Structure 1
Amino acid sequence: MRVSTILGARPQFIKAAVVSKKIREKNKEIIIHTGQHYDDNMSKIFFDELEIPKPDYNLNIGSGYHGFQTGNMLIKIEDILLKEKPDIVLVYGDTNSTIAGALAASKLLIPIAHIEAGLRSFNKNMPEEQNRILTDHISDYLFAPTETSEINLKKEGISRNVFKIGDVMYDGILHFSKLASVKSMIISRLNIRDKYILATIHRAENTNDISKLKNIVQALNESGKRIILPLHPRTQKYISQYNLKISSNVSIIHPIGYLDMLMLEKNAEKILTDSGGVQKEAFFLGKPCITLREETEWIETVNNGWNILVGSNAKKIIQSINEFLPQKERKNYFGNGDAADKIVNILNKGLFINK
């Protein structure tokens, strides 16, 4: 089996770390990196420390408006697929890299496998929601991480080749959290001795809206807690553009690799984020999560009481930082850590049958 894997953003690198390893045991993989995340701390470091095979192609697309970014990816990915002639194209999640890869494959009649199929926030204003819906409806193999995602697909009339296989990020957590404990020096490097809140802010709905970003920064400043904030380049840009002031209780650090991020998550008192991946990592690691959104595609974490949605309301954010604590035991929604094995076995079997 010849697989073209299309990646472009940090969460996809993490998922590929476990899936690509399984693919390459018995199959040929061609990795196409779109360059959607192009900062070394957002891209190269992940390939290095997670031992992901180096990309066969790096498109160096960079940032830009959605049409520019997706269109350029589509043109370049199509050229590569015509040259490489893969048996299947593998895409992850909900980024512009995802939809560009899926569209390129669909037009060329190459089967598409979508990992993290069926996720829905039910907010079509989010580009991620648009990408995941469109990708699901043109995919040939849909790997749903949870029962909820499987049900979402059925409600949209998608039932053929839907496989509930668990979450590949859980596979990664089981392996890389142990590695992080050995290799990461971030706690000593930052001289962390007391309790802290870990925060991440990167979604366009928060960064591009001055009132939302202002409210979030205000809440961090007024929380009275030590907050560690690895700052995404987009967030840094808008904080500077809006001339927002950061108080001394908030420690801004550069974007970090996955192992350092895991160590900060493991040692945090609570986690404050607008990232879907970080919400899950918080749940896997048993950390209360405060989500800076009005909705989430990972509704299981909310229903289980380990995640609370506060949007950009400064009062709710501060109250949750000081008071929110889970009241239930965590349930197992995300599988047994063998999702990557299941994906590769299903693809190998399915492609053999289809031929």
Structure 2
Amino acid sequence: MTVLAVVGTRPELVKMAPVVRALDAAPATEPRLLHTGQHYDDELSSDFFDVLGLPEPARNLEVGSASGAKQTADGLVGVDAEIAAREPTAVVTLGDTNAVLAATLAGAKRDTLVGHIEAGLRSGDRSMPEEVNRVVADHLSELLFAPTDSAVGNLASEGIESGVTQTGNTIVDACLDHAPVARERSDALARFGLDGDYALATIHRPHNTDDPERLHAILAALDDAPVPVVLPAHPRTEAAIEALGFEPSRSLRLVEPQGYLDFLALLDGACLAVTDSGGVQEEASVLETPCLTVRPNTERPETVEAGVNELVEPTALGARLTRLATDATARAAMIGHPDLYGDGNAGERIVATLVDRMEERR
């Protein structure tokens, strides 16, 4: 039974890897990886796939950087053609990108079994394109792999109870697999001269990068921190910083985007993280790195409820960052819950459930 695993971005590849490996190990399934090409850079090399234990994608749609509508439309056409040509037994998606929306629509229209990994995440903010993608994918998918109790509850509140399985999150599988490798192989800390406390920052969401006032407040807070702050600049962020004319002069270090192992090593070694990324919130909790999330809401409420993550506005970021960077006791109060998203066996649970449903459908 062939399972078409569709991804579009680096984080999806990282989180999909445990599922693809479990599919490859199962006697009855054969994974086929399709990349829509929403992320397209030198990191997506053969070395990157080797690190994750993945084959290179059988097909890359190369949708590239474009509007959400065009990425979704091109992805829909490409995934539909793949389903028509290969007739996979199932299609699996993960997360909330335009690749997820495109693949879900294509599979549903072809009456192919569709499974959505990370089902049930909700921020409650429909102005976020990701929130729209999540909702549509959950309502069209036949199997919903929810990572947490709250995700299961979100689905139930929308009338979705059939086909729901709580599996944990594959980010735990990935972190537990690769953090030891990152510690051994990565030279990122030495390369950036980080021999003491430092913070790692990631800022890329339009809510922050497209608002000059918010972005300036965030950058100013990072640049005024009492410890070095390393910010691997996403292309969106880099362009916005250039347009803003902001030049770091104190603690902030803008660096190029990092490979997976280097980023994991940086996050693991940091005294705290500042982010607007959903995935980094999860990874920080697993690696026990205190996290400040520069957003008004989050689809990962477990991290906030457990006290390992705080939502903070740009105007309050500087004070909170300074407090955590200089107070080890305050940081210690924000760790201790590495199992919020499971035990590292989510990939195997997902595949077991998927195989059972594929057998039922035959």
Shorter chain as denominator, the TM-score bin is over 0.9
Equivalent of residue 55 in structure 1, options 54, 57, 60: 57
Query: Does the 8 Å contact 2:285/2:340 carry over to 1?
Result: no
Query: Does the 8 Å contact 1:180/1:260 carry over to 2?
Result: yes
Gaps of 5+ in 2: 325-329
Q: Percent identity?
A: 38
Quote the offset at 1:205 in angstroms: 1.4
Query: Equivalent residue for 1:296?
Result: 298
Question: Partners in 2 of 1:33 and 1:279 — Cα distance?
Answer: 24
Query: Equivalent residue for 1:181?
Result: 183
Q: Normalising to structure 2: TM-score of the pair?
A: 0.94
Q: 1:60 to 1:24 in 2, by over 3 A?
A: same
Q: 1:45 to 1:236 in 2, by over 3 A?
A: farther
Quote the offset at 1:331 in angstroms: 6.7
Pairing 1:121–2:123 present: yes
Query: Does the 8 Å contact 1:35/1:61 carry over to 2?
Result: yes
Quote the offset at 1:44 in angstroms: 6.1
| SS of corresponding position for 1:192 | coil
Query: Does the 8 Å contact 1:42/1:257 carry over to 2?
Result: no
Query: Equivalent residue for 1:347?
Result: 354
Quote the offset at 1:194 in angstroms: 1.9
Question: Partners in 1 of 2:88 and 2:44 — Cα distance?
Answer: 28
Query: Equivalent residue for 1:319?
Result: 319
Question: Partners in 1 of 2:214 and 2:45 — Cα distance?
Answer: 27
Query: Equivalent residue for 1:167?
Result: 169
Q: Normalising to structure 1: TM-score of the pair?
A: 0.96
Paired residue type of 2:119: A
Q: 1:17 to 1:102 in 2, by over 3 A?
A: same
Q: Which residues in structure 2 correspond to 1:115-264 (within 5 Å)?
A: 115-264=117-266
Quote the offset at 1:251 in angstroms: 1.3
Question: Partners in 2 of 1:127 and 1:246 — Cα distance?
Answer: 31
Number of aligned residues: 353
Pairing 1:11–2:18 present: no
Question: Partners in 1 of 2:33 and 2:312 — Cα distance?
Answer: 37
Query: Does the 8 Å contact 2:21/2:53 carry over to 1?
Result: no
Paired residue type of 1:287: T
Q: CA RMSD in A?
A: 1.5
Question: Partners in 1 of 2:256 and 2:305 — Cα distance?
Answer: 33
Question: Partners in 1 of 2:90 and 2:146 — Cα distance?
Answer: 18
Query: Equivalent residue for 2:43?
Result: 41
Question: Partners in 2 of 1:42 and 1:290 — Cα distance?
Answer: 28
Question: Partners in 1 of 2:247 and 2:349 — Cα distance?
Answer: 48
Query: Equivalent residue for 1:276?
Result: 278
Question: Partners in 1 of 2:154 and 2:212 — Cα distance?
Answer: 33
For residues 79-121 of structure 1, the C-alpha deviation after alignment (integer angstroms, 9 at most, x for no partner) is 1111011011000000011101101111111111000000000
Gaps of 5+ in 1: none
Quote the offset at 1:45 in angstroms: 5.4
